[in-house]
């Protein structure tokens, strides 16, 4: 897997972890509300990461 994709996944993991903690500890949201908020954002990150992988694969194919 390309390093840029791994770096993006690590950044996403850190952000979502921090967001969950912020929602539950600082804003005192119910855990299930925080889970839904984080899951919603995670879906968008997965989609964006998939596009990033697709872009890099097509760039490699074009270069070959």
The per-residue pLDDT for range 6-42, each reduced to its tens digit, is 888 899 999 999 999 999 999 999 999 999 999 999 9
pTM of the model: 0.76
Q: What are the backbone dihedrals phi and psi of residue 27, each rounded to the nearest 5 degrees, phi first?
A: -95, -5
pLDDT of residue 59: 86
Give the torsion sign (CA, 59, 60, 63, 64): negative
DSSP state of 23: I
Which pLDDT score is estimated for 38? 97
- pLDDT over threshold 90, residue 55: no
The confidence score (pLDDT) of residue 32 equals: 97
């Amino acid at each position: 897997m390309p390093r840029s994709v791994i770096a993006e996944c690590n950044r996403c993991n850190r952000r979502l972890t921090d967001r969950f903690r912020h929602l539950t500890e600082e804003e005192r949201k119910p855990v299930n509300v925080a889970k839904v908020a984080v899951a919603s954002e995670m879906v968008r990150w997965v989609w964006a990461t998939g596009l990033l992988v697709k872009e890099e694969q097509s760039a490699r194919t074009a270069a070959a």
